[in-house]
């Protein structure tokens, strides 16, 4: 394996949660007093960064902790509606068999992450670093690299948003952006990740 440590995001990377996110977003907007999202705004939202999305929706920053807690609880109650992407089980098993150490860094809580993955996949993950703030993944990346005992240049972070790329860069890690998640692939390419993965199968094809 080219990388000793592979760190996955979960939402939009391993877990197909964007449709669920869109299905609850406007109810959450009504509850916390920020702007609703029309169907024709979704594409432009996928091309925007996290801070820009918060500004467009006029999300009061002081309400963010409450909104995030509510979304985590809502997701926990509806996890049966949110599937893993096809191929996750086989991909994690194959990466582990090839000698890679696997980790998860997520903004979601660890209980949700573990339930989403299921027992077989959880057993393949050596390190969990969950509950990251929206812009706090870089610290989680550094913590996982330290715990794994590898050099930063031997680690790869795989995610679906611009903030994943930015956090990986801040932590000194290589990064791969996936085209099947929350952010549009054009927006991800503009941030020049080390790899852009267009299909889930490319994880194995290009990391072997």
Domain ranges of the chain: 5-16+83-207, 18-81
Q: State pTM to two decimals.
A: 0.94
Average of per-residue pLDDT across 178-195: 95
Full DSSP string of 91-137: HHHHHHHTT-EEEEE-SS-HHHHHHHH-HHHHTT--EEE----TT-H
Q: 62, 51, 79, 85: which is closest to 161 by C-alpha?
A: 51
15-70 tens-digit pLDDT:
999 999 999 999 999 999 999 999 999 999 898 888 899 999 999 999 999 999 99
Looking at the predicted structure, is the pLDDT value of residue 2 above 90?
no
pLDDT of residue 208: 64
pLDDT at 95 > cutoff 90: yes
Contacts of 15 (CB under 8 A, 6+ apart): 82, 83, 84, 85, 116
Spatial separation of the C-alpha atoms in residues 199 and 150, rounded to whole Å: 28
Residue 129: the pLDDT is: 96
For the segment 169-183, the average pLDDT, to the nearest whole number, is 96
DSSP state of 194: S
At residue 140, the pLDDT reads 95
Instruction: Look up the CATH number of domain 5-16+83-207.
Output: 3.40.50.1000
Beta-strand relationship, 101-105 and 127-129: parallel
Cβ 103 vs Cβ 129: under 8 Å: yes
């Amino acid at each position: 394996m080219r990388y000793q440590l592979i760190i996955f995001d979960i939402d939009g990377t391993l877990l197909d949660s964007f449709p669920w996110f869109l299905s609850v977003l406007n109810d959450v907007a009504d509850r916390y007093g920020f702007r609703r999202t029309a169907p024709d705004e979704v594409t432009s939202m996928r091309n925007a960064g996290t801070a820009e999305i918060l500004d467009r929706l006029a999300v009061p920053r002081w309400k963010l902790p409450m909104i995030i807690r509510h979304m985590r609880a809502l997701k926990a109650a509806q996890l049966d509606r949110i599937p893993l992407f096809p191929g996750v089980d086989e991909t994690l098993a194959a990466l582990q068999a090839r000698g890679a150490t696997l980790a998860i860094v997520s903004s979601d809580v660890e209980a949700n992450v573990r339930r989403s993955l299921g027992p077989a996949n959880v057993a393949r993950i050596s390190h969990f670093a969950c509950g990251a703030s929206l812009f706090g993944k870089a610290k989680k990346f550094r913590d996982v690299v330290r715990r794994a005992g590898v050099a930063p240049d031997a680690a790869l972070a795989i995610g679906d948003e611009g903030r994943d790329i930015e956090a990986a860069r801040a932590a000194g890690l290589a990064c791969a952006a996936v085209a099947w998640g929350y952010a549009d692939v054009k927006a991800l390419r503009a941030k020049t990740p080390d790899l852009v993965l267009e299909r889930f199968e490319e994880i194995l094809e290009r990391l072997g």
